[in-house]
A and B are shown apart, each in its own frame.
Chain A
């Protein structure tokens, strides 16, 4: 968020550190030039949606969805799953039975 006149910005300021942290959480490796361009681009996005901060929400009940729907449930009935070949077909690497990923170095006990 840029320097705004609001006393308490809802969104923390988007610093270079924040960008690097978000990139790390998303497993993205950013070049130095990208860090800069993303910092400014993300700032622009936050400024854009910042207009929502101006809405008066006094006395409005928070909702979890915008559709006004709730309690959409399905019965516990099986549907057809994909064949294994189809399931694996979109993966960059597989051995015909399993998806393959680079060795997980810090095996979380399963």
Chain B
């Protein structure tokens, strides 16, 4: 930013929508499955909103929701109920959405978000939550984008699938922090098994409320009107839309001097292609949902024993696991974050390797560098990786025992990756032995084995030997290189030492 700007505070709150991993919809037995190829095959009188059909709450949806609420440190309500949120939209067959208004199943809560991007600082911000509630999702509209004036098409497979809405306090202070909050939320929900959070399929979406507190020429702090940006469905989109909106609100403020003709909250959409937000609804269309209790559904009392049972059953959460890797396994905060942020499977893989090879630090280096690089290059998930935790642990154990140099270990690693998975099946230990002997990678530990090689190399390179003896230290590099080429398993430090000894004698 070039112009000197007044001190400003950015105020952001997110409403995150998470689709729950149930087998069936929230109020009927239709499948809850992403299935755009076969539109309108997962519907029934209940989710089509046909007259006389009666909804019944899915226990599993409530269970997953409570699990999420507990993991977010919220207070689970003893009694919760269902309300109708009324609005007209073609993807909402009943013309109301069953949601929760004044008695959500979960109150409060919070989530910590690491501040520093590089993760080396343990500084974190606590983002408080207002509430978490359950509701049904709407169907999907397909707009005609080619020809004007053609009908919109509606697929109601998604109508009535269970949705969790997590509403934060306006505690977020930047676009980047909002993105991290959403990433951490995704990680948590996937860890819990509450959602797959597949953003391409719309399983994780969010609305962002944002305004700024700016100081005008008279030194008076003024808040810009709140803008709600609807339906953001990628991490990049959230960050970019908020960055754009911060700039737009600043500029508007500069132009109007903080005197707004209309200070009402405004709804804007995000155009990812053009990278701009745009005004969406006129004031006369302002939402008026006229909530009232749904007479077709009865309130739900959530037994304290059930809540305790679910609390006890929670897995170790990502934040706690990250901290444990730092405290117990002595990883850097950065390494711990890289491992944990990749998801539960990679963290499980790392921990298995660390435990079996006995050196968490070395395991972390290999997993965060070699393994992640290969996974990225191959577009693979850790579950499909050719070297399982036992395999990597076996390689690393041999470095620790001095049987392999780090360099040779990398060659074994690459060779294992290139192995034909359909090929001969032997144990990984046996296969590693094979690779080591085929390629002559065994560490040459005793200088006795090195001696003849060193003598031969010196004999072939009289000039380099003479240069070194004459005081040109750098000349030894060439000699080390040649010895190493012939004795792959040799440790460069030992080769250097042996060469110097030989040349000095």
Chain A residues near B148: list those with CB within 8 A: 103
**Known contacts A72-B56, A76-B58: does B31 contact A99 (CB below 8 Å)?**
no
- A26, A27, A100: which has the most chain B beta carbons within 10 Å? A100
A-B contact pairs, 10 of them (CB 8 A): A25-B86, A70-B300, A75-B60, A76-B58, A76-B60, A81-B43, A82-B45, A98-B142, A101-B151, A102-B152
Task: Verify A110–B88 contact, CB threshold 8 A.
Answer: no
Chain B positions 290-310 with a Cβ under 8 Å from a chain A Cβ: 290, 293, 295, 297-301
Judge whether B485 is part of the interface by a CB distance below 8 angstroms.
Answer: no
Chain A residues near B58: list those with CB within 8 A: 73-74, 76
Chain B residues near A90: list those with CB within 8 A: 48, 50
Q: How far is the CB of A104 from chain B (nearest CB, A)?
A: 5
Chain B positions 31-90 with a Cβ under 8 Å from a chain A Cβ: 31, 38-45, 48, 50, 56-62, 79, 81-82, 86, 88-90
Chain A residues near B140: list those with CB within 8 A: 110
Chain A residues near B153: list those with CB within 8 A: 95, 97-100
Task: Verify A73–B90 contact, CB threshold 8 A.
Answer: no
How distant is the Cα of A95 from the Cα of B152 in the complex, in angstroms? 11
Q: How far is the CB of A105 from chain B (nearest CB, A)?
A: 9
Contact of A71 among B89, B280, B300 (CB under 8 A): B300
Task: Verify B300–A79 contact, CB threshold 8 A.
Answer: no
Chain A positions 53-93 with a Cβ under 8 Å from a chain B Cβ: 63-65, 67, 69-84, 87-88, 90, 93
Smallest CB-CB A-B distances: 10 pairs: A79-B29, A76-B60, A98-B153, A99-B154, A73-B59, A100-B151, A64-B81, A101-B90, A109-B231, A69-B298
Binding site for A on B (CB under 8 A): 22-24, 28-31, 38-45, 48, 50, 56-62, 79, 81-82, 86, 88-90, 103, 140-144, 148-156, 202, 230-231, 233, 269-270, 280-281, 284, 288, 290, 293, 295, 297-301
Chain B residues near A81: list those with CB within 8 A: 29-31, 41-44
Chain B residues near A65: list those with CB within 8 A: 293, 295, 297-299
Interface of A (DSSP majority class): loop
Task: Verify A104–B143 contact, CB threshold 8 A.
Answer: yes
Task: Verify A102–B151 contact, CB threshold 8 A.
Answer: yes
**Known contacts A25-B290, A98-B142: does B30 contact A79 (CB below 8 Å)?**
yes
Task: Verify A87–B40 contact, CB threshold 8 A.
Answer: yes
Chain A residues near B231: list those with CB within 8 A: 108-110
Judge whether A107 is part of the interface by a CB distance below 8 angstroms.
Answer: yes
Q: How far is the CB of B198 from chain A (nearest CB, A)?
A: 15
Chain B residues near A101: list those with CB within 8 A: 90, 151-152, 154
Judge whether A8 is part of the interface by a CB distance below 8 angstroms.
Answer: no
Task: Verify A75–B40 contact, CB threshold 8 A.
Answer: no
Judge whether A32 is part of the interface by a CB distance below 8 angstroms.
Answer: no
Chain B residues near A109: list those with CB within 8 A: 230-231, 233, 269-270
Judge whether A3 is part of the interface by a CB distance below 8 angstroms.
Answer: no
Q: How far is the CB of B284 from chain A (nearest CB, A)?
A: 8
Task: Verify B88–A27 contact, CB threshold 8 A.
Answer: yes
Chain A positions 19-62 with a Cβ under 8 Å from a chain B Cβ: 21, 24-27
Judge whether A106 is part of the interface by a CB distance below 8 angstroms.
Answer: yes
**Known contacts A69-B298, A87-B40: does B141 contact A110 (CB below 8 Å)?**
yes
Task: Verify B299–A107 contact, CB threshold 8 A.
Answer: no
Contact of A98 among B154, B269, B298 (CB under 8 A): B154
Chain B residues near A93: list those with CB within 8 A: 151
How distant is the Cα of A72 from the Cα of B152 in the complex, in angstroms? 37
- A64, A69, A108, A110: which has the most chain B beta carbons within 10 Å? A64
Q: How far is the CB of A51 from chain B (nearest CB, A)?
A: 19
Chain A residues near B300: list those with CB within 8 A: 70-71, 73
How distant is the Cα of A87 from the Cα of B40 in the complex, in angstroms? 7
**Known contacts A76-B58, A97-B40, A109-B231: does B150 contact A103 (CB below 8 Å)?**
yes
How distant is the Cα of A42 from the Cα of B480 in the complex, in angstroms? 98
- A69, A87, A103: which has the most chain B beta carbons within 10 Å? A87
Task: Verify B141–A97 contact, CB threshold 8 A.
Answer: no
Q: How far is the CB of B103 from chain A (nearest CB, A)?
A: 8
Task: Verify B40–A98 contact, CB threshold 8 A.
Answer: yes
Task: Verify B299–A82 contact, CB threshold 8 A.
Answer: no
How distant is the Cα of A67 from the Cα of B39 in the complex, in angstroms? 37
Chain B residues near A108: list those with CB within 8 A: 89, 141, 230-231, 269, 280
Task: Verify B24–A76 contact, CB threshold 8 A.
Answer: yes
Chain B residues near A77: list those with CB within 8 A: 23-24, 29
Q: How far is the CB of A97 from chain B (nearest CB, A)?
A: 5
